[in-house]
Amino acid sequence: MAVVSPTFCANIKVSAEDGSRWKFWIPEPDSDAEEWAQRYGLTASRLDPAGNLPPVFLGLVALSGAKQSSIPFFSPADEPQVEFLITRAVHDVTTAKKPKLAVISPLPIMGNAGMFMGQRPDPWIVINELRAVADVTDLSADIESVPEDIDTLLLVYPRNLPETTLYALDQFVLRGGHLFAMNDPLNLTELNLQSSELNDPNQTHADMNKLTSAWGVTMATDRVVADSRAATRISRPDGSTERHLAWLTLRPENFNKQEIATAALDMMQMPMAGWFQTNAVEGLTLTPLITAGLEAGSITVSEAISGIPMGDSSFRKEPGPMPIALRISGHFKTAFPDGRPKSGKPEQAPDTNSHTAQLKESNGDGVVILVADADFLYDSFAGRKLPMFGPGVYQLMNDNINFAANIAGQLVGGDALLGLRGRGTF
């Protein structure tokens, strides 16, 4: 069902070959139709600043039995995403149950890491957002296989994953699972959560190069992106401020406008992010989602943390584009051609039913999303919690959470949403 303005209603034609029924309503002020629109979460917008004209409804409600999903109002900014928004609304009400998304992370992203500074931490803001589209659960980093009921895996800062876990991820992708992984050459979140005597920036990095190199993608762990056009002014311990080349504030020119997940993004912050070096692999397509500026280069992790040492800066211009986030899609082959790696656990009697036969390649096309930063999801870099308005209330500071939620929404939505792309503006 849709609530629309008269002009829109007069010019639209709907073809519903799938058996769905569409109804169009033009709510008059103080009418049953207006009450219906408000009850289902639609909002009216005044297009006349002077207030001489009544508010206009231009939203959509999808209903299927007891399920409902609404788009409160189609704004001009939504134009590149209209097909995606409508498809997602229909998908939400026609799916029997929420898809299952598992999170693997050494960081307290799920809020269940015990007591910290005398308090039990709440889940990060991004987890609350993801729970709107999926059944979110956590998973151990030491696994030999991914449970069959998991549709999508979210890896946030996958530090020191054992080879058996990397193998499990490899087989998960080959069986058709969707992987969303945030690597990081310098994780400020872990540094912040560590006690000061344990702080070692050179040990706070996470990569999956052992796995992703088979897909033509690797990430340097000793250098971070430095971009003068994206530099952010930050405060120093002595009270002064500086423009930090590696503390990135990314703008529309850094986002792929042809992709649903990034088309409407306005600003993201990524402190000390890495980038991916890529090589062509037969059967796979690499699509940049977020890219550093044309003048960007890199500096060492040490300089990013401590500033320029005695002498010259470590800045160097890197050859070619510097993708910070990308999508790998197509026909995947295993990164473990010699079979399952040996586990470091004590030897036990073999169980012939404990492992399925190794998959050597995917049966169909798969999707993996890689990001060379994990800090952008941390609450301190993404939003402000507002406890005075109640638990779980927060205000987003940028599009960090929106990017993650957009990607996750596409992945858990399956082929219906993954196949959609931005259509540009007119």
From start to end of 174-240, where are the E strands? Answer: 178-182, 217-219, 223-226, 231-235
Return the domain boundaries, the chain: 2-74, 100-339+358-418
Residue 8 clears pLDDT 50, i.e. is over it: no
Read out DSSP for 360-404? SB-SS-EEEEEES-SGGGSHHHHEEE-GGG-TT-EEESSSHHHHH
Q: What is the pLDDT of residue 34?
A: 83
Q: Are 180 and 408 in contact (CB under 8 A)?
A: yes
At 389, the pLDDT band (50, 70, 90 cuts) reads: low
Q: How far apart are CA 223 and CA 272, in angstroms?
A: 9
Q: What is the pLDDT of residue 97?
A: 80
Instruction: Name the residue with higher pLDDT: 249 or 46.
Output: 249
Tens of pLDDT, residue by residue over 221-239, are 999 999 999 999 998 777 8
pTM: 0.81
100-339+358-418: CATH class: alpha beta
Place of tokens 């020119």: 253
Average pLDDT of 257-261? 90
Read out DSSP for 263-290? HT---EEEET---EEE---TTEEEEEEE
Residue 276 clears pLDDT 50, i.e. is over it: yes
Q: What is the pLDDT of residue 359?
A: 97
Measuring CA to CA, which residue among 49, 31, 34, 48 is closest to residue 4? Answer: 34
Tens of pLDDT, residue by residue over 17-33, are 555 666 777 777 788 88
Q: How far apart are CA 39 and CA 24, in angstroms?
A: 16
Backbone phi, then psi, for 34, in 5-degree steps? -65, -40
Q: What is the pLDDT of residue 84?
A: 65
Measuring CA to CA, which residue among 32, 77, 80, 83 is closest to residue 60? Answer: 83
Measuring CA to CA, which residue among 135, 305, 281 is closest to residue 226? Answer: 305
Residue 298 clears pLDDT 60, i.e. is over it: yes
Q: Are 164 and 143 in contact (CB under 8 A)?
A: yes
Q: What is the pLDDT of residue 195?
A: 53
Tens of pLDDT, residue by residue over 165-224, are 999 999 999 999 999 999 999 999 998 887 554 566 667 899 999 999 999 999 999 999
Backbone phi, then psi, for 64, in 5-degree steps? -150, 100
* End-to-end Cα separation, the chain, in angstroms: 26
Give the CA distances from residue 75 to residues 12, 34, 44, in Å, rounded to whole numbers and listed in that order. 17, 19, 11
Q: What is the pLDDT of residue 314?
A: 94
At 415, the pLDDT band (50, 70, 90 cuts) reads: low
In this structure, the chain runs to a length of 426
